[in-house]
Amino acid sequence: MNTFGKYITLTTFGESHGPAMGGILDGMPSLVKIDLAEIDRQTERRAPGRSALTSQRREPDKAEILSGITADGLTLGTPIGFIVRNRDARSGDYAGYQGRFRPNHADYTYYTKYGINDFRGGGRASARETVSWVIGGAIVRQWLSAMGIEIAAEFIETNSVEDAKNSLDSTGGAVRCVISGMPAGIGEPVFEKLHSRLAAAMMGINAAKAFEYGDGRDMSAMRGSECLDLFGEEIEGRPGVYRFLTNHSGGILGGISNGMPINFTVYFKPTPTIMQDVPSVDTDGHRVVINPKGRHDPCVAMRAVPVVEAMAALTVADMIKGASRKGSQY
Amino acid sequence: MNTFGKYITLTTFGESHGPAMGGILDGMPSLVKIDLAEIDRQTERRAPGRSALTSQRREPDKAEILSGITADGLTLGTPIGFIVRNRDARSGDYAGYQGRFRPNHADYTYYTKYGINDFRGGGRASARETVSWVIGGAIVRQWLSAMGIEIAAEFIETNSVEDAKNSLDSTGGAVRCVISGMPAGIGEPVFEKLHSRLAAAMMGINAAKAFEYGDGRDMSAMRGSECLDLFGEEIEGRPGVYRFLTNHSGGILGGISNGMPINFTVYFKPTPTIMQDVPSVDTDGHRVVINPKGRHDPCVAMRAVPVVEAMAALTVADMIKGASRKGSQY
Amino acid sequence: MNTFGKYITLTTFGESHGPAMGGILDGMPSLVKIDLAEIDRQTERRAPGRSALTSQRREPDKAEILSGITADGLTLGTPIGFIVRNRDARSGDYAGYQGRFRPNHADYTYYTKYGINDFRGGGRASARETVSWVIGGAIVRQWLSAMGIEIAAEFIETNSVEDAKNSLDSTGGAVRCVISGMPAGIGEPVFEKLHSRLAAAMMGINAAKAFEYGDGRDMSAMRGSECLDLFGEEIEGRPGVYRFLTNHSGGILGGISNGMPINFTVYFKPTPTIMQDVPSVDTDGHRVVINPKGRHDPCVAMRAVPVVEAMAALTVADMIKGASRKGSQY
Amino acid sequence: MNTFGKYITLTTFGESHGPAMGGILDGMPSLVKIDLAEIDRQTERRAPGRSALTSQRREPDKAEILSGITADGLTLGTPIGFIVRNRDARSGDYAGYQGRFRPNHADYTYYTKYGINDFRGGGRASARETVSWVIGGAIVRQWLSAMGIEIAAEFIETNSVEDAKNSLDSTGGAVRCVISGMPAGIGEPVFEKLHSRLAAAMMGINAAKAFEYGDGRDMSAMRGSECLDLFGEEIEGRPGVYRFLTNHSGGILGGISNGMPINFTVYFKPTPTIMQDVPSVDTDGHRVVINPKGRHDPCVAMRAVPVVEAMAALTVADMIKGASRKGSQY
In tens, the pLDDT along C83-138 reads 999 976 555 445 456 789 999 999 999 999 999 877 655 688 888 999 999 999 99
Strand D20-26 vs strand B3-4: parallel, antiparallel, or unpaired?
unpaired
Average pLDDT over every residue of A41-51: 82
Residue C9 makes CB contacts below 8 A (sequence gap 6+) with A1, A3, A11, C3, C24, C25, C26, C27, C318
Q: Which residues of D touch A78 (CB under 8 A)?
A: 189
CA distance B10 to B33: 19
Q: Which has the closest alpha carbon to D184: C284, C113, C119, A328?
A: C113
CA distance B173 to B155: 7
CA distance D46 to D60: 11
Q: Which residues of A touch C83 (CB under 8 A)?
A: 66, 81, 83
Question: Does B209 sit within 8 Å of A211, measured CB to CB?
Answer: no
**CB neighbour class for B52 (10 Å; exposed up to 12, middle 13-18, buried from 19):** exposed
Question: In this predicted structure, what is the pLDDT of residue C98?
Answer: 73
Q: DSSP string covering D6-72, please?
A: SSSEEEEE--TTSSEEEEEEE-PPTT-B--HHHHHHHHHHH-S-SSTTS-------PPEE-SSB-TT
Q: Which residues of B touch C322 (CB under 8 A)?
A: 7
Give tens-digit pLDDT for C67-78: 999 989 999 999
Question: In this predicted structure, what is the pLDDT of residue C121?
Answer: 55
| Rg of chain D taking only CA atoms, in angstroms | 21
Q: Does D4 touch chain A (CB under 8 A)?
A: no
Question: Does D324 sit within 8 Å of A147, measured CB to CB?
Answer: no
Mutate to test the interface with D, among C4, C104, C220 (most CBs of D within 10 A): C220
**Amino acid, res. A49:** G
CA-based nearest distance C220→chain B, Å = 30
CA distance B120 to B22: 17
CA distance D135 to D41: 10
Question: In this predicted structure, what is the pLDDT of residue D59?
Answer: 58
Could you report the average pLDDT of every consecutive run of 10 residues in chain D (330 residues)? 96 94 96 96 84 62 94 94 82 62 93 80 84 98 96 94 94 98 94 98 98 97 96 92 97 97 98 93 94 81 96 97 63
SS3 for chain A is: CCEECCCCEEEEECCCCCCEEEEEEECCCCCCECCHHHHHHHHHHHCCCCCCCCCCCCCCCCCEECCCECCCCEECCCCEEEEEECCCCCCHHHHCCCCECCCCCCHHHHHHHHCCCCCHHHHHHCHHHHHHHHHHHHHHHHHHHHCCCEEEEEEECCCCHHHHHHCCCCECEEEEEEEECCCCCCCCCCCCCHHHHHHHHHHCCCCEEEEEECCHHHHHHCEHHHCCCCEEEECCCCCCCEEECCCCCCCEECCEECCCCEEEEEEECCCCCCCCCEEEEECCCCEEEECCCCCCCCCHHHHCHHHHHHHHHHHHHHHHHHCCCCCCCC
* Res. A97: pLDDT tops 70: no
CA-based nearest distance B44→chain C, Å = 26
Q: Does A92 touch chain D (CB under 8 A)?
A: no
Average pLDDT over every residue of C195-212: 98
Give tens-digit pLDDT for A179-220: 999 999 999 989 999 999 999 999 999 999 999 999 999 999
CA-based nearest distance B71→chain A, Å = 31
D213: helix, coil or strand? Answer: strand
Question: In this predicted structure, what is the pLDDT of residue D54?
Answer: 63
Q: Which residues of B touch C320 (CB under 8 A)?
A: 330
Percent of chain A with pLDDT over 90: 78
Q: Which residues of C touch D216 (CB under 8 A)?
A: 209-210, 267
Question: In this predicted structure, what is the pLDDT of residue D17?
Answer: 84
**Amino acid, res. D257:** S
CA-based nearest distance B303→chain C, Å = 30
Residue D296 makes CB contacts below 8 A (sequence gap 6+) with D55, D170, D271, D273, D275
User: Residue D277 region, left (φ>0) first, then alpha (ψ -120 to 50), else beta?
Assistant: beta
Question: In this predicted structure, what is the pLDDT of residue C220?
Answer: 96
Q: Which residues of C touch D200 (CB under 8 A)?
A: 196-197, 199-200, 203
Q: Does A153 touch chain C (CB under 8 A)?
A: no
Q: Does A34 touch chain C (CB under 8 A)?
A: no
Give tens-digit pLDDT for B137-189: 999 999 999 999 999 999 999 889 999 999 999 999 999 999 999 999 999 98
Question: Does D27 sit within 8 Å of A328, measured CB to CB?
Answer: no
Question: In this predicted structure, what is the pLDDT of residue B325?
Answer: 60
Q: Which residues of A touch D147 (CB under 8 A)?
A: 328-330
Average pLDDT over every residue of A97-126: 84
Q: Does B15 touch chain D (CB under 8 A)?
A: yes
CA distance A81 to A79: 6
- Residue in chain C lying closest to D130 (CA): C190
C329 phi/psi in degrees, rounded to 5: -70, 150
D322: helix, coil or strand? Answer: helix
CA distance D131 to D47: 8
**Amino acid, res. C319:** M
* Res. B90: pLDDT tops 60: no
CA distance B265 to B178: 9
pLDDT band at A50 (very low <50, low <70, confident <90, very high): low
A112-126, B225-239, C127-141, D210-224: which has the minimum mean pLDDT?
A112-126
Q: Does C30 touch chain B (CB under 8 A)?
A: yes
Chains that touch A (3 or more CB pairs under 8 A): B, C, D
B203-217, C240-254, D45-59: which has the minimum mean pLDDT?
D45-59
Distance set, CA A269 to CA A117, A243, A250, A304 (Å): 25, 36, 24, 12
CA distance B10 to B315: 10
Decide: A102 and B258 in contact? Cβ < 8 Å.
Answer: no
ipTM passes above 0.85: yes
Higher per-residue pLDDT: B72 or A250: A250
pTM of the model: 0.96
pLDDT band at C292 (very low <50, low <70, confident <90, very high): confident
| Rg of chain A taking only CA atoms, in angstroms | 21
Residue B264: half-sphere exposure toward Cβ, Cα within 13 Å: 30
* Res. B54: pLDDT tops 70: no
* Res. B102: pLDDT tops 80: yes
The interface residues of chain B toward chain A in range 193-212, judged by CB-CB distance below 8 A, are 193, 195-197, 199-204, 209-212
Question: In this predicted structure, what is the pLDDT of residue A49?
Answer: 64
- Residue in chain C lying closest to D209 (CA): C216
Residue D135 makes CB contacts below 8 A (sequence gap 6+) with D23, D25, D39, D42, D43, D63, D82, D84
C326: helix, coil or strand? Answer: coil
Give tens-digit pLDDT for A53-93: 666 556 578 999 999 999 899 999 999 999 999 976 555 44
Helix, strand, coil % in chain D, rounded to nearest 5: 30, 25, 50
Helix-helix angle A305-322:A36-46, to 10 degrees: 140
Burial track D234-266 (b if 16+ CB lie within 10 A, e otherwise)? eeeeeeebbebeebbbbbbbbbbbbbbebbbbb
> Which of B77, B189, B327 has its CB closest to that of C31?
B327
* Res. A102: pLDDT tops 70: yes
Distance set, CA B29 to CA A42, A281, C321, D163 (Å): 45, 37, 14, 44
Question: Does D326 sit within 8 Å of A31, measured CB to CB?
Answer: yes
CA distance A122 to D82: 49
The interface residues of chain B toward chain D in range 101-120, judged by CB-CB distance below 8 A, are 113-116, 118-119
Question: Does C191 sit within 8 Å of D210, measured CB to CB?
Answer: no
Give tens-digit pLDDT for C22-32: 999 999 999 99
